[in-house]
Amino acid sequence: MKKVGQFFFTFVPFLLVMAIQFLAMFFLMGVSALIEGSWYTTSGNDSFIAIFDDFTYLWSSQNFNTGVMLVYSLLTTAIFGIWYYARYDGDYLPAPKTVFHPLTFLGILMLVPGMQYLCTYIVNLVAAIFPQWLETYMELLEAAGLDETITFGMLIYSVLLAPVCEELVFRGITMRQAKKFLPFWAANIFQAFLFGAFHMNMMQGVYTFCVGLVLGIICEKSGSIYNAIFYHMLFNFWGTVLSQYLYIGESDFAFFFWFIFALAMTLGGLLVFAAGTRRARKHSMEAASSEYQ
């Protein structure tokens, strides 16, 4: 019975973060309505239809969506940061040598292009099977301001704020809660599934599920959420900034070359990262034993 309760509790972070997102949206809608309403009250020139059209345009604009995501991410980081620290023994000031190692950084640097290219192949495969998913995904990117005309505010959200709040929610809390009644491999799949569902569209859900699996491995192997945050930031930076300037070609040779490259970088990155975490753990044990001597 206890495990059943723990299972249902693993959905609480997911539901809470969704609620925070809607609360941020309604909060900004209310603030904007008060500001715009006071202006229309003093001017008294526009009809109800014109006011309604203005609000509709405002609430569907990229700037408004950016504001919602910024407010949501800051609230989520604060709430889940306290929760992670108080309930799941989050360590905000770990000894660097016990968590980080040059090989872990090298592994992460290898994983970023590896997973980016793998995700490109995954997206192309899924789009070939379900072309409407890709169309919906591109429309959502444009509405959110994450296309080639990305704004500075959305860049800050995507590269800095989203990785922090999403790692706290899914790897910091959800995965740790799931590990109370599941082995790691099952808990990792579970949190990655919720991570994919959180993005609320099928195309992005498929490849974020794959990225979520890698993030779970990074967090578990290193024993620190910081490595997952670092990887997540670099992954999003590549996707939002660097991907616009990279061209992989359309020939058969390019297709197979970059596919092999993606597999090699991903598998190699995981191996190098694992080696780095073993050395960091060894250093941690040696440091701990020296304190007792």
φ and ψ of 88, to 5 deg: -120, 25
pLDDT one-digit tens code per residue, 167-191:
999 999 999 999 999 999 999 999 9
pLDDT one-digit tens code per residue, 125-169:
999 999 888 888 887 777 666 666 678 888 999 999 999 999 999
Residues in contact with 134: Cβ distance below 8 Å, sequence separation at least 6, in sequence order: 123, 126, 127, 203
CA separation for the pair 12, 196 (Å, rounded): 16
Cβ atoms within 10 Å, residue 73 = 23
CA separation for the pair 115, 7 (Å, rounded): 30
pLDDT-based confidence at residue 24 (cuts at 50, 70, 90): very high
Q: Of 166, 290, 258, whose CA–CA distance to 216 is shortest?
A: 166
The per-residue pLDDT for 39 is 67
User: Which residue intervals of 145-248 are DSSP H helices?
Assistant: 152-156, 162-166, 175-178, 184-198, 202-222, 225-240
Using alpha carbons, list the distances in angstroms from residue 118 to 125, 170, 267: 11, 22, 11
279 neighbors 101 (Cβ within 8 angstroms): yes
pTM here is: 0.90
Domain residues of the chain, as ranges?
2-291
CA separation for the pair 293, 286 (Å, rounded): 11
pLDDT one-digit tens code per residue, 204-258:
899 999 999 999 999 999 988 999 999 999 999 998 888 777 777 778 888 899 9
Q: Of 279, 260, 284, whose CA–CA distance to 107 is shortest?
A: 279
